[in-house]
Amino acid sequence: MSETGADHPDAPLWHPDGPDLLVHGDNLAAMRRLPEASMRLIYLDPPFNTGRAQQRATTRNVRDPEGAWRGYTGTSYTRTVEALTRYDDRFADYWGFLAPRLEEAWRLLDDRGTLYLHLDYREAHYAKVALDALFGRDCFLNEIIWAYDYGAKSRSRWPTKHDTILVYVKNPSAYYFDSTAVDREPYMAPGLVTAEKAARGKLPTDVWWHTIVTTTGREKTGYPTQKPLGVLRRIVQASSAEGDWVLDPFAGSGTTAEAARLLGRRVIAIDESPDAVAVMQRRLGLDIHRA
């Protein structure tokens, strides 16, 4: 892999009129080199197992009561994490990893920006409480359920066949959202609507039925946990416009970046895994920059 870009940790990583970026390195370090309010859309699909030892440290971050908290004056990370720790110590370790990255995501969103946090059922309810404290409850937009149909089937409980995507906006009075730009989907009961409506399809709700990337599918890159292009297209279509900047700090196989570029958006894709960066370079054809 050929690599380029400024290696100094204080050097600017990005320019609003510059090219799309593929960044190899720690996403927290990279995000700290980006300017405030520079991103319209941020999508995070973090792993649960971060692959490193995490310290059990809490953080305290009191924001302007007229800013991020949106009615939660005086609320802090300390109280939030301690409350969560009483229920699940494992989540406190995970939050110790994820919290500073979400803080940076909040900082990087512009006033019309939106955050999508993609999790499975094990973490989603904890993350909802923590994000309410970070963004403010009135900045919560949606809980999207992505339901799929492949994978192992359990006989001892209802098989788990969905992921949760939590959606928060920077400013609940100004955020960008264009449902008319989103690809429509077939009606589940087309006979109950007119032929014209059935042909046009319906706008998606907060429950998305979309298959996973199968081992023999055309999208398959060979990278594990790859997300389907259709899911990311919908996110990019709804919460950004042509020319807007989209950030994926856990870029993996590069699906967010591909969706953004196909739709005329600008993109920054970051990952610490050499395998992921190699997959993205083949997929996107971008030079690699170091965080």
**pLDDT interval class at 77 (50, 70, 90):** very low
Hey, where are the domains in the chain?
Answer: 3-290
Neighbour-count burial of 287, counting CB atoms closer than 10 A to its CB (0-12 exposed, 13-18 middle, 19+ buried)? middle
Q: What is the pTM of this model?
A: 0.85
**pLDDT digit string, tens, across residues 12-23:** 788 999 999 999
For residue 219, count other CB atoms closer than 10 A to its CB. Answer: 16
**pLDDT digit string, tens, across residues 106-153:** 999 999 999 999 998 888 888 898 899 999 999 999 999 999 987 667
Instruction: Say what the pLDDT of residue 47 is.
Output: 83
Residues 134 and 103: beta-carbon distance below 8 Å = yes
Instruction: Say what the pLDDT of residue 60 is.
Output: 45
Helices marked H in the chain — which ranges? 27-31, 77-85, 89-108, 124-135, 195-200, 229-239, 255-262, 274-284
**pLDDT interval class at 180 (50, 70, 90):** very high
Most confident of 152-156, 159-163, 227-231: 227-231
CA-CA distance, 106 to 140, in Å (whole number)?
13
**pLDDT interval class at 291 (50, 70, 90):** confident
Task: Specify whether domain 3-290 bears CATH 3.40.220.10.
Answer: no
CA-CA distance, 230 to 2, in Å (whole number)?
30
Q: Which are the contacts of 131, defined by CB distance < 8 A and separation ≥ 6?
A: 102, 117, 140, 166, 168
**pLDDT digit string, tens, across residues 27-73:** 999 999 999 999 999 999 998 644 444 344 444 444 444 444 343 44
